[in-house]
Chain A
Amino acid sequence: MDPILIFIQGLNGLQLGVMLFLMAAGLTLVFGVMNLINLAHGSLYMLGAYLAATFQQRTGSFLLAVLLAIPLTILIGMLIEVIVLRALYDRDHLDQVLATFALILFFNELVRIVWGPQAYFMAAPALLSGYIRILPGVTYPLFRLAIIAVGLVVALLLYLLIAHTRLGMLIRAGATNREMVGALGVNIRLLYTLVFGLGAALAGLAGMMAGPILSVEVGMGESIIILTFVVIVIGGIGSIRGAFIASIAVGIADTFGRVLLPPALASMVIYVLMAAVLYWRPQGLFPAHG
C-alpha cells in the first residue's frame, strides 16, 4: 500500500479516535465513579451538535456557537443527572440500561419536535475550512487537523485535571472505592453532578466538532454511543488511560478496516477486536477496579 495513503488514513483514524475519546472519557468517568451505564450519553452529543448548529445560524460564528452551546449542554446534562439518574445509582445495571434507553427515545423525539426531522448541515469556520499541505504534494482538510489538535489538548487537560488537582483525586478515589470516599466526608452528590457535567461538556464538544464533517441529525448519537461503549469496554471501565488508548486503537482499526476490507467485514472489525480483547482479558485492558 502507498505510504502516503497509509499516512492520510492514519490521520483519519486518529481523528476518529480523538472524537471517540471525547465521548469515552465522559462515559467511562460516569461509569467508573457512579457505576452508572448511561446509554443516553449519545443524546448529549446530539444535543450539543444541534445547539451549536442553531447558534451558528443565528450568530454566524462557529467559535461563538461552541462557546454558547457548551454551557447549555452542561446544564442539560446536570438537569438529567439531578432529575432522573440520581434515582438510579443504587439500582442494578439492568434498570439503568432501561431508563437511559428511555431517555434516548425521549430526546430523539424532543429534537424531532424542536428542530424537525430534516438533517442540519454545519459549515466549518472560515479560518479552518479548506486544505493544508502537510507533506510535499499531500493536502489534508484543515478542520480535521483542528479536531485532532483539540482532542489531544483536551486529553492533556483531562490528564492534568485527573492527576494533579483535588477534584481529580476525588474522581480517581471515587472510581476505586465510592463508599470509602463518601465515608471520608466528601460531598458525593455534588461530585457526581460535577462529573456528569464534565462528561456532558466533552460529549457536547464532540458533537459540535462532528457537525461540520457529518450531518447533524436525529439518531447521530446512537451511531457513536455503541462505538464509545466498545472503546470503554476494551480500555477497561473507569480508566481514562485505557479509554485513550482504546479510542485511538478503535479509530485506527475502523478506518483501516474500511480501506482494506470488503464492507461486510469492515463494519465488523471493531466488534471482533472487542470480542477478542474480552476473550483474553475479560475486564478490559486497564481495569480501574481492584
Chain B
Amino acid sequence: MAKKRYPDLRQIVLLVVLAAFLTVPLFGELFYTRLFTRIMIYAIVALSLDLILGYGGMVSFGHAAFFGLGAYTVGILAQHGVQTAFVAWPAAIVGSALVAVVIGAISLRTSGVYFIMITLAFAQMLYYFFFSLEEYGGSDGMPLVSRNTVAGLIDPGDHNSFYYLVLVIMLLTLLVSRRMVQSRFGMVIQGVRENERRMRALGFATFRYKLVCFVISAAIAGFAGALIANQTLYISPAFMHWTRSGDILVMVILGGLGSLFGPMLGALFLLLAEEVLAGFTEHWMILLGPLLIIVVVFARRGIYGLLAGAKDVD
C-alpha cells in the first residue's frame, strides 16, 4: 500500500477529470455548462452521503430530504426578499443540520434495515409536508426569480461564473471531507462501522460520533440543495422524493463506497449515462436498469474499485 512510485490509474483519472471540469465552460456551449454544473452539485450530494454510508456504515434512504430542505430554504427566503447568498446558503446548511439532529437522534437508535426504513419514513414525511405546503408552491413547486447574489463579488447569474463557483465549492468540500475522514474523528467513525461494540468498549461514545457524522453529512447535502435551487431556479417536492434518494444511493454505490472521489465519479457516470442513453432511445431506463444490475453483481467495489484494479481489493 505504502510504496507507490508511479501515479496509479486512479490518480490519472482524477487529474483528467479535474482538467476536463476546468475546461467545460471554455467550449461556450451553454447546454454542457449547465449539465456539468448539475453533475458537480450531485457529486457534492453523493460525497455527503458517502460520509455516512461508506465511512459510517449508516445506510440512509432519505438523503434527498436534506437536499430538498436546502433548496426550499433558499426558495422560501427568496420569497421573503432575502437574496444574498451570505444569508441564504448558511441558512440552508444550518437548517438541514438542525433537522438532521432530530432525525438522526431518533433514527440512530435503530440499525440495519430498520435504519434504512426509518430514514425513508422521515424523508417521506418532509416530502408530503412540502407537497401540501400551498404557501410555497405545494405540489407544483415554486420558481426562484433569480439566483442569489454574492455581494457583487461575482455574478452568479452568469452561467460560467456560477459554474466556477460550484467547482470551487465542490473541490473545497472534497478537501475538507478528506481531512475529516483521515482525522481522529474519521477513524472513530470507521471503527464504529467495523465494530461498534468494540468501539464502545474502548470508551468512545459511539452514538454521539454517529450523530455528528450524520449531521455533517446532512449539512453538506443542504448546501448542495441551495446550489441546485440556484441552478434550476425551480424548487419542487420532487427534490425530496424517495426515488431521488435512490438515485443518490445509486451514485454512491456505483462509484464505490468509502472513497469520497468514487461517489463523485458515480454522479458523473450516472448523469452522463442518462444523457447519452436518452440520446439513443426515449426508453433509456430499460438499458440503465440491467447495466446497474451488472455493476452490482460483477463490480462490487464500484467504478473506483475497478480503477484500483485487483491489488487494493482486500
B133 interface residue (CB < 8 Å to A): yes
Residues of chain A contacted by B53 (CB below 8 angstroms): 94
Residue of A106, A229, A272 near B289 (CB, 8 A) is A106
Known contacts: A87-B297, A268-B125. The answer to whether A97 contacts B118 by CB under 8 A is: no
A160 interface residue (CB < 8 Å to B): no
A112 to B281 Cα, complex, angstroms: 13
Q: Are A99 and B296 in contact, CB atoms less than 8 angstroms apart? A: yes
A113 interface residue (CB < 8 Å to B): yes
A37 to B113 Cα, complex, angstroms: 8
- A37 smallest CB distance to B (angstroms): 6
* CB contact list, A30-49 vs B, under 8 A: 31, 37
Residues of chain A contacted by B109 (CB below 8 angstroms): 278-279, 282
Give the nearest-CB partner of B133 in chain A: A264
Residues of chain B contacted by A5 (CB below 8 angstroms): none
* CB contact list, A87-108 vs B, under 8 A: 87-88, 91, 93-95, 97-99, 101-108
Over the window 103-129 of chain B, the binary record of Cβ atoms lying under 8 Å from chain A Cβ atoms (1 yes, 0 no) is: 000100111111011101110110011
Q: Are B116 and A97 in contact, CB atoms less than 8 angstroms apart? A: yes
Q: Are A275 and B118 in contact, CB atoms less than 8 angstroms apart? A: yes
Q: Are A230 and B286 in contact, CB atoms less than 8 angstroms apart? A: no
A205 interface residue (CB < 8 Å to B): no
Residue of A99, A105, A267 near B131 (CB, 8 A) is A267
Residue of A97, A113, A262, A268 near B61 (CB, 8 A) is A97
A110 to B287 Cα, complex, angstroms: 10
B246 interface residue (CB < 8 Å to A): yes
Known contacts: A93-B59, A268-B125, A271-B121. The answer to whether A279 contacts B286 by CB under 8 A is: no
Q: Are A274 and B116 in contact, CB atoms less than 8 angstroms apart? A: no
B283 interface residue (CB < 8 Å to A): yes
Q: Are B116 and A103 in contact, CB atoms less than 8 angstroms apart? A: no
A112 to B53 Cα, complex, angstroms: 33
* CB contact list, A189-244 vs B, under 8 A: 222, 226, 229-230, 233, 237
Q: Are B283 and A275 in contact, CB atoms less than 8 angstroms apart? A: no
A107 to B291 Cα, complex, angstroms: 14
- A186 smallest CB distance to B (angstroms): 25
- A222 smallest CB distance to B (angstroms): 7
A113 to B246 Cα, complex, angstroms: 23
Known contacts: A102-B289, A226-B242. The answer to whether A278 contacts B132 by CB under 8 A is: no
Residue of A37, A91, A93, A275 near B122 (CB, 8 A) is A275
Residue of A37, A94, A112, A267 near B128 (CB, 8 A) is A267
Residues of chain A contacted by B121 (CB below 8 angstroms): 230, 271, 274-275
Known contacts: A102-B296, A233-B114. The answer to whether A109 contacts B125 by CB under 8 A is: no
A193 to B297 Cα, complex, angstroms: 19
Give the nearest-CB partner of B110 in chain A: A282
Over the window 1-35 of chain A, the binary record of Cβ atoms lying under 8 Å from chain B Cβ atoms (1 yes, 0 no) is: 00000000000000000000000000000010000
Give the nearest-CB partner of B250 in chain A: A98
Question: 9 nearest interchain CB pairs?
Answer: A106-B289, A267-B128, A102-B292, A264-B132, A109-B286, A109-B285, A105-B289, A271-B121, A282-B110
Q: A97-B249, A105-B288, A108-B285 are in contact. List 9 more A-B contacts (CB 8 A).
A: A87-B297, A94-B53, A94-B253, A102-B292, A110-B286, A268-B124, A271-B124, A271-B128, A278-B106
Q: List 18 A-B pairs, Cβ < 8 Å.
A: A84-B293, A88-B296, A91-B296, A93-B116, A97-B246, A98-B254, A99-B293, A106-B285, A109-B285, A109-B286, A109-B289, A112-B283, A233-B117, A264-B131, A268-B125, A271-B124, A271-B128, A278-B110
